[in-house]
Each structure stands twice: as structure tokens, then as C-alpha cells.
């Protein structure tokens, strides 16, 4: 069955898929992005509707096919916890800070090279790398259980969540622990990055994209495997296949996975804040000014949320989707963001703009969520076939973005691999989900190797 052909525009920058799926799905795309979407994406959207007590599904404009469900997918369940709709990089997300330093300093080749090198000295880069913040077991336990608070950050100030509570009875699994304990203050590889940028007022910013490294990956792997066994024993197989796993609340595994996600999220929050400290020191040293942490937020998570639009509490899974609470959202009560909504951090590709958005009241139509990036439009292998090293190096030089202090540009992360940020942001703004507060232009990008 061709599901794409069953979608119909319902206005407000949204398509509705109602036929051929268990519950209606709202797909927030403009005509251009919808036209480009392939049927495989819609088959994965169908998978997202198949989980037992799923109540609502939303697709963001940067959506592309992922593991079982799309990257760019929001799923609200009554209680069921699903693995694929969180993904392997539990707690992966963004952090941004701004300064009063003029963009001219950032564009100075000598200064941006020095900044890049100072960052590379302080933060571990690449897959398989250990971190630059060694901790003992006691400190690691504290970080995993109390995230930002274990590092002394003031509550509700810097972060989407200071930490997600982890039950005392839950024990950190040995294997993920043995990997994670050495990986704090490390960036990882793939699409993770640290980027120097400037805003419309010509002030320097830094954005960071990273996650829970081997710690979250280890737990995701563990609970996806156990989910497969759990469903096999129950004789259940969803249309999405053996990998479309979940835990129902009557299982002890539900409790375990809930805590594993919380722990992964806490690790990721702490990792981003530790990177912020390292990058902040580099920034101060090179540019001579104290930057201000704007916000820190995840785009791969399941957490229990008050969902006013659905009239209750739900388990909101965001896989490659960013939380977008507008002003007055009940979950912002008591934070500094209650009157304005919290900042939404959206990166573009390494050659493209990034954006800081604030949610509009219309975000209630999208499960209080927007996109998390621009969406890949080319596989990594296709990129390596299509582009040469010298081409992408020249491309970034032309865009005036220094990569890894003058090193090679990772071909499969080059701008041609991603959709234009403008199209995706236009979809979000056009749908009335959020407005643009800052547009950030890249100056220097720091990336790990695969």
C-alpha cells in the first residue's frame, strides 16, 4: 500500500495520514519537503503508530528514515516505553552559548585556528576516544543519577532538565558503566560537532552537538536485545518487525528501561556541560571574554510530560525531535523560561546556518515539538562516492568555515549531505510552531572522526 499517496494537506503547513494506519499522524512539512519524501519514510511512520497504547504521532519537517521509526518523530504513549523511538544515542542533544565578542575576532584566521586547537586540546574527539574528565566510580554514580546537579549547576537555569530521576533500586549495568566512566568530556563522531558561529548582531556563539557516547549506546543495545526476547516470549510481533520493541508497564523491564533512559540522559547532560566548561575556557583564553550558557536540550529521549493538548500525562518519545514548550507551558512553571518558552537549538549542516527558536502556542499541534536539524538527504556511502576530499575541502574554504583547525573535511558530513536549513525552518515557522530568535552563521567547525 502506498501510504504517501494517502496523505492529504490539512492546512497550517501540515499533512494528515489517516488511512492505512492505526491512528492519524500529523506530518509537518511544506510542499517542497513533502514532495521530496520517499515512500520508505511513510512505511516507518506507520511503524510509529503500531505501539500498543500510542495516543498521538507527529512527524517533523527534517524527517528521514531511521531505525524502525523515522528520525524526526514524536510518539506519545499512555505508558508503554519503546526503544527505537528513543534510539541508540540516548539523550543526544544540543547546547549553545553566546558572548559579546565581535564576529571579526572569530573570522580572524589566526584566532579561529587557535580557538579550534585549544578546544581540541580540552575535549576528546572521535569514535572510540576516551574523555578528558576522569572520574572515580563514586563520582560517576553521582553524575549518572544527578546529571547537572552532580556538577554543581543551579536548578532550572541552563538545561531542559537538570537531571531525570533514577530510582535507587536500579543498578547501573556493568558493561555500559565500564565504557562510560572513561568518556566524560568527549564529543564522539558522526554528526556530532562543536561550532563557532556569529549571530545577526555580529556576536560570537558556540554550539555543541553530542550525546551519551558508549554509555547510552551500551544500554540501548542491551534493552533492544531484551525487548526482542520479551516480545518473543509473549508471542507478539508488530508490523514494524522484530526490532519494533517495547515494554509494557507490568514488566520489570519497563522499570529498568525507564531508569536506563534517565541515566543515559543524565550522562549526556553532564557530558555537554563538561564540554561547555572546556570550550568556555578555550573561548576565554582566545577571545578574552566570558561566554554565557544559553541552553542545553536533548532530541533523543522519552520522558513523562504533561501534554495540555491531550489533557493529561503521557510518555513522550522524541527521536530526532526537539521539545518546544511555549510560554505558559505547565512544565516550565518555576523555571526562568515560563514567560517566554525555552530556547530551541536547531543546527544546520557545517556549511549552513543554525537557529535559535522559541515555540509559539501553535506548538500544541505538534506535541510541543519541532525538528532537530535539517535532515540528511544523502547516505554516508553515497556522499563518499559522489564527493572527493579536495572538493569538500574547497567547498568549506569557499564558505569561509575552518574545519578542525585546517584539517580535512569529513566528506559524509559536508553540506551537500544535508537539506538546506532554510527549507526546514521555513516549514516550522510557516506551520506556526515556532519563531526565529537568532540566525547563526558558522565560522569554525570541530568534528570527530569515525
Instruction: Return the closest-CA partner of residue 60 out of 103, 27, 104, 15.
Output: 27
Span from 16-24, 173-181, 232-240, 399-407 in contact with DNA (CB under 7 A)? 173-181
User: Closer to DNA at the Cβ: 147 or 326?
Assistant: 147
| Segment lying near DNA (by CB under 7 A), choices 7-15, 207-215, 230-238, 434-442 | 207-215
C-alpha cell at 401: 568555515
Site string (131-170) toward DNA, x via CB under 7 A: ----------------------------------------
Site residues for DNA, 420-449, by CB under 7 A, read 448
Residue 340's SS3 state is coil
State yes or no: residue 450 binds DNA (CB under 7 A): yes
Q: Does 175 bind DNA (CB under 7 A)?
A: yes
CB atoms within 10 A of CB 190: 21
Nearer to DNA (CB atom), residue 113 or residue 175: 175
Question: Does residue 189 touch DNA according to CB under 7 A?
Answer: yes
415 counts as binding DNA under rule CB under 7 A: no
Assess contact for 388 and 77: CB atoms under 8 A.
no
When asked if residue 205 is in the footprint of DNA (CB under 7 A), the reply is: no
- Cα separation, 255 vs 249, in Å, equals 7
Hey, what's the cell of 124? Answer: 576528546
Size of the site for DNA (CB under 7 A): 22
Please give the Cα distance from 71 to 237 (Å, whole number): 22
x/- track of binding to DNA for residues 83-102 (CB under 7 A): -----xx--x----------
Piece of 146-154, 182-190, 332-340, 397-405 that binds DNA (CB under 7 A) = 182-190
Helix residue ranges per DSSP H, 354-440: 380-386, 389-398, 421-430
> How many other β-carbons are positioned within 10 Å of the β-carbon of residue 222?
17
- Contact pick of 139, 179, 284, 377 for DNA (by CB under 7 A): 179
What is the per-residue binding string for DNA in 297-336, x denoting contact by CB under 7 A? Answer: ----------------------------------------
CB 323 to DNA: min, Å: 19
The owner of cell 555537554 is: 272
Only segment of 115-123, 205-213, 250-258, 388-396 that touches DNA (CB under 7 A)? 205-213
Contact string (CB under 7 A) for DNA, positions 350-389, x = contact = ----------------------------------------
Instruction: Choose, by CB under 7 A, the member of 9, 20, 128, 362 that binds DNA.
Output: 128
Binding piece for DNA, criterion CB under 7 A, among 43-51, 172-180, 235-243, 280-288: 172-180
Secondary structure (DSSP) of 53-118: TEEEEEEEEEEE--SSS-EEEEEEESS-EESTTT-SSTT-EEEEEEEEEEHHHHH-HHHHHHHHHH
3-state helix, strand, coil in the chain (%, to 5): 35, 25, 40
Q: Which three cell numbers stand for residue 347?
A: 543546527
Q: Are strands 354-359 and 434-447 parallel, antiparallel or unpaired?
A: antiparallel
Displacement of CA 291 from its chain's centroid (Å): 23
The residues, ordered by sequence, that sit 6+ positions from 57 with a Cβ below 8 Å of its Cβ are: 23, 25, 26, 45, 48, 49, 73, 74, 75, 76
Q: Determine, following the binding rule CB under 7 A, whether residue 213 of this chain makes contact with DNA.
A: yes
Q: Does 281 bind DNA (CB under 7 A)?
A: no
Closest separation between CB of residue 234 and DNA, Å? 24
* Footprint of DNA on 217-236 (CB under 7 A): 217-218
Alpha-carbon distance of 56 to 83, in angstroms, equals: 17
- DSSP reduced 3-state for 153: coil
Q: How far is the CB of 324 from DNA (least distance, A)?
A: 21
The x, y and z cell numbers of residue 337, run together, are 523560561
Altogether, the residues listed in the chain come to a count of 450
**214 lies in the binding site for DNA (CB under 7 A):** yes
- Least Cβ distance, residue 87 to DNA (angstroms): 7
Q: How far is the CB of 178 from DNA (least distance, A)?
A: 6
Binds DNA (CB under 7 A): choice among 13, 61, 72, 190: 190
Pick the stretch among 14-22, 43-51, 185-193, 337-345 that binds DNA (CB under 7 A): 185-193
Alpha helices in 131-241 (DSSP H): 137-150, 174-180, 213-234
Which CB, 62 or 305, lies closer to DNA? 62
Q: Which residues contact DNA by CB under 7 A?
A: 88-89, 92, 127-128, 175, 178-179, 183, 188-192, 210-211, 213-214, 217-218, 448, 450
Amino acid at each position: 500500500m502506498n501510504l504517501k499517496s494517502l496523505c492529504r494537506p490539512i492546512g497550517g503547513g501540515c499533512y494528515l495520514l489517516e488511512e492505512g494506519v492505526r491512528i492519524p499522524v500529523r506530518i509537518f512539512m511544506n510542499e517542497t519537503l513533502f514532495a521530496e519524501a520517499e515512500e520508505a519514510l511513510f512505511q516507518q511512520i506507520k511503524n510509529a503508530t503500531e505501539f500498543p497504547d500510542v495516543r498521538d504521532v507527529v512527524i517533523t519537517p527534517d524527517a528521514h528514515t531511521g531505525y524502525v521509526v523515522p528520525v524526526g518523530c514524536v510518539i506519545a504513549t499512555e505508558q508503554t516505553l519503546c526503544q527505537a523511538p528513543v534510539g541508540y544515542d540516548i539523550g543526544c542533544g544540543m547546547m549553545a552559548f553566546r558572548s559579546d565578542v565581535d564576529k571579526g575576532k572569530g573570522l580572524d584566521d589566526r584566532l579561529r585556528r587557535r580557538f579550534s586547537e585549544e578546544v581540541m586540546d580540552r575535549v576528546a574527539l572521535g569514535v572510540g576516544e576516551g574523555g578528558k574528565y576522569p572520574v572515580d566510580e563514586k563520582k560517576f554514580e553521582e553524575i549518572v543519577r544527578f546529571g547537572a546537579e552532580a556538577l554543581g549547576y543551579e536548578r532550572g537555569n541552563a538545561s531542559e532538565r537538570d537531571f531525570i530521576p533514577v530510582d535507587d533500586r536500579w543498578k547501573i549495568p556493568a558493561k555500559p558503566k565500564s565504557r562510560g566512566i572513561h568518556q566524560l568530556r568527549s564529543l564522539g563522531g558522526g554528526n556530532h560537532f562543536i561550532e563557532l558561529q556569529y549571530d545577526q548582531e555580529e556576536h560570537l556563539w558556540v554550539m555543541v552537538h553530542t550525546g551519551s557516547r558508549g554509555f547510552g549506546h551500551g544500554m540501548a543495545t542491551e534493552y533492544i536485545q531484551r525487548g526482542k526476547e520479551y516480545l518473543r516470549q509473549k508471542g507478539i510481533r508488530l508490523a514494524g518487525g522484530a526490532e519494533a520493541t517495547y515494554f509494557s508497564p507490568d514488566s520489570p523491564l519497563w522499570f529498568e528501561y525507564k531508569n536506563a533512559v534517565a541515566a543515559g540522559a543524565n550522562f549526556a547532560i553532564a557530558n555537554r556541560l563538561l564540554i561547555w566548561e572546556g570550550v568556555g575556557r578555550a573561548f576565554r583564553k582566545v577571545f578574552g571574554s566570558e561566554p554565557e550558557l544559553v541552553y542545553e536540550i536533548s532530541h533523543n529521549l522519552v520522558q513523562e510530560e504533561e501534554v495540555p493538548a491531550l489533557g493529561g500525562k503521557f510518555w513522550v518519545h522524541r527521536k530526532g525531535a526537539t521539545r518546544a514548550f511555549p510560554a505558559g507551558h505547565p512544565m516550565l512553571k518555576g523555571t526562568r523560561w515560563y514567560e517566554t518558552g525555552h530556547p530551541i537549538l536547531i543546527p544546520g549542516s557545517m556549511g549552513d546556518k543554525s537557529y535559535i527558536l522559541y515555540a509559539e502556542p501553535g506548538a500544541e499541534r505538534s506535541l510541543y515539538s519541532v525538528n532537530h536539524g535539517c535532515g540528511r538527504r544523502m547516505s554516508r556511502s553515497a556522499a563518499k562516492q559522489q564527493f572527493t576530499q579536495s572538493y569538500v575541502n574547497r567547498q568549506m574554504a569557499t564558505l569561509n568555515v575552518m574545519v578542525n583547525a585546517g584539517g580535512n573535511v569529513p566528506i559524509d558530513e559536508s553540506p551537500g549531505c544535508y537539506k538546506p536549513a532554510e527549507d526546514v525552518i521555513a516549514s516550522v515557522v510557516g506551520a506556526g510552531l515556532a519563531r526565529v530568535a537568532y540566525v547563526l552563521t558558522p565560522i569554525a567547525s570541530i568534528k570527530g572522526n569515525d
